[in-house]
Structure 1
Amino acid sequence: MDLIALEEIRALKYRYLRTLDLKRWDDFAATLAPDVTADYGSPSGGRPLVFTGRDEVVGYLRSALGAGVTTVHVCSHPEIACDGDAAEGTWCLEDTVLVPEHKIMIRGAAYYTDAYRRDEGVWRISGTRYRRLYEAVVPFDALPGFRLTADLWSS
């Protein structure tokens, strides 16, 4: 078992989540292989969210999660299997999306299934997908007393 590779892949997934939430798009792009495939099985998207290639994935997320949207993605329960320079993993995802412009909060959970590839000593995500266990859209008005007291993305 390659324990170093396991830790590098864990750090890669956490960096993917952190840079996504912080909208650090260049750093986020660096977590993805150039030929990455992504299938984000979220009904909130209103269309199939299937992408091929780093530029397509980053471009979609950059536009969908613009400055007015706050996200927090938390993954746990990693199960990772390495085979040389390739690996596969599953992760439990819980996420929250706040969209003040539309006064909604989206909460959900899913299991990611990822593929990883090590090129020139660097691990990148070469495929990622999930299907929702659940997703709930909650209007801010349905949460008595709800108010945002901090919002990194508000001007």
Structure 2
Amino acid sequence: MNDVERLTAIEELRRLMARYVRYADQKRWQDLAGLFTPDGSFTPHKPDGSVWLRMNGRADIAATVGASSGPDDVLVHHLFSDEIDVESATGARGTWSMEDIITRPEDAEVNPDFPFRGMHGYGHYHARFVRTGGAWYIAELEQTRLRLDFAY
């Protein structure tokens, strides 16, 4: 790859992850899952490093992340400080610093799997990307946590 091709790939990957957080904020779970390869995986971790959830495939990702928030929840996701390594014309890896905030209305029904009223999290996304059919997709996404603050 020449420099222009590499920089173009980096910008495409930044935009892919920007769509990921926008779709999360807008609760567009099918669109979010469509950013993954058909067999893509998403694995969020707890601050202690243990796996919180493991999702495999678009249907599982859409259903699981969609079940984690209610219709009146407000979701805010931010990405910062990306590090992207384009390994080839069809493969790349990246790391983003991240922050997410979830707030639920006082009268919202409590979700037994996610019983908090508010959450403020900090950490990193670690992604492996593949390019197929002229577009980049997330093949693997891991979310590691530095800190999670909950309000009950």
1:8 aligns with 12
- Relative to the length of structure 1, the TM-score reads 0.81
Deviation of 1:25 (Å):
2.5
Which of 88, 91, 99 aligns to 1:94? It is 99
Report whether the alignment pairs 1:22 with 2:26. yes
- 4+ runs deviating over 3 angstroms: none
2:144 matched to 1:131? yes
Distance 1:48 1:77 in 2: 24
1:112 is aligned, of 114, 119, 125, to 125
* Offset from partner CA, 1:53-112 (integer Å, 9 cap, x none): 111111101111231322111011000001220000000011101122257221010111
Give yes or no for contact 1:42–1:49 (8 Å, CA) kept in 2: no
Q: How far did residue 124 of structure 1 move?
A: 0.7
Superposed CA deviations along residues 98-145 of structure 1, whole A, max 9, x for unmatched, are 122257221010111111110011001111012210000124xxxxxx
Give the paired residue count. Answer: 136
Measured on the aligned residues, the alpha-carbon RMSD in Å equals 1.6
Matched residues in 1 for 2:52 and 2:22: separation? 24
Which amino acid in the other structure matches residue 82 of structure 1?
Answer: V
What TM-score, normalized by structure 2, do the two folds share? Answer: 0.83
Counterpart contact for 2:29–2:63, Cα < 8 Å: no
**Would you say 1:73 and 2:86 are equivalent positions?**
no
Contact in 2 for aligned 1:41/1:131 (Cα 8 Å): yes
Opposite residue 127 of structure 1, the aligned amino acid is E
3-state SS in 2 of match to 1:7 = helix
- What is the letter of the counterpart of residue 126 of structure 2? T
